Structure 1
């Protein structure tokens, strides 16, 4: 199982001189998102060894095995348009995993999938807007789980694809990528366009047929045609063209290929 997070080294990798707040390490917490929101300090990461009440998108519970996950949250300023922050967070996680030699790609909006384990999901992300406009970004990565530790058959871990990583290093790399993406989106122009292009290149959803699961419970088979400027998914189906701001997509299995 992974060792305890090295808070001193994480602080060195995220120094106050570069605008990072205090690294808060909790042995156990209900939700790192709640803890980060309560603290109210920008770019002050909250990390934990055991999250007992984590949530994913659409309110789904995100179960945790003590010491096996990388669970952390950080409060960040808003970006415009806001829909790009969750996508950029997924891109940050994917970039960090690739730097560790892990093959990974994205499923819209921000699921991180591992082709090495039949495109199962390795990471959960939840961005929660605060009353003052700031946003808590929550990230949970399955690191050291065995198959039996995972709550659903569509989940995986880095260990299951043979990746033995240091959680402290991965935490710092994810957060640094996230901050670079955030800065680019805030600056706008060509910098923001670079983030959008990088996301499109890493997203396996674009340009394929999927089953779209909408928040109201309806499902529709559609073809994805790209993203709009808000980060919404452009689709074409039996009822014409549409843009989708929220929901899940299921990649349709092609002959000889795995599904996700």
Structure 2
């Protein structure tokens, strides 16, 4: 597997010949994007790779389409160019593109592309905020990939989620090779101490319970509303037990890394 960090949640994964782009965000920095209930965030870092340098994309994963920090304007422009796009069932209805497949948590889909080995994907649960926040934050999913007929998950993309019962239960039953774990500890002044994604400490706890071969932190920088951010993620990793710390791999910006 080869993995390239683009920035924020955006990662390019090359797996068994597949070129998989996660949560494409390619707008330049400086713009403020509105979220729900009057909240907003400013993009503070641009992508480490421009869309023109990506090459052919077989599959784009969109954990949720309604927040610009996971799918911005330039990212939306890439969706029609991919062979397949996976997102939530409600997101698929909004995007309304012929190459988009909508999934709900627990649903499976087998994907095919000419010249590639088949991949099986299962949508995994996320909760993008405190309990009972779903009517405000909307649907979000993660993605667990297996080779057909094999029990091991070769890649798990957690999506944006707090650390809650369903995602911990998922971690307890998966045998994962590589996990891409979104963190950052998102919060907003108007909602006080409430969290909308995992902090670094939460992410390390999930990685501890999951015990993947490799865990890659993601979505911890590049936006103004991270309370925990890269500093919190690095502090949590540094404080983790050696056997957990040894699993965590920091990726450089824009440079392919063989995992």
Structure with a larger share of its residues in helix: 1
Q: What's the TM-score once normalised by structure 1's chain length?
A: 0.25
Q: Is the radius of gyration larger for structure 1 or structure 2?
A: 1
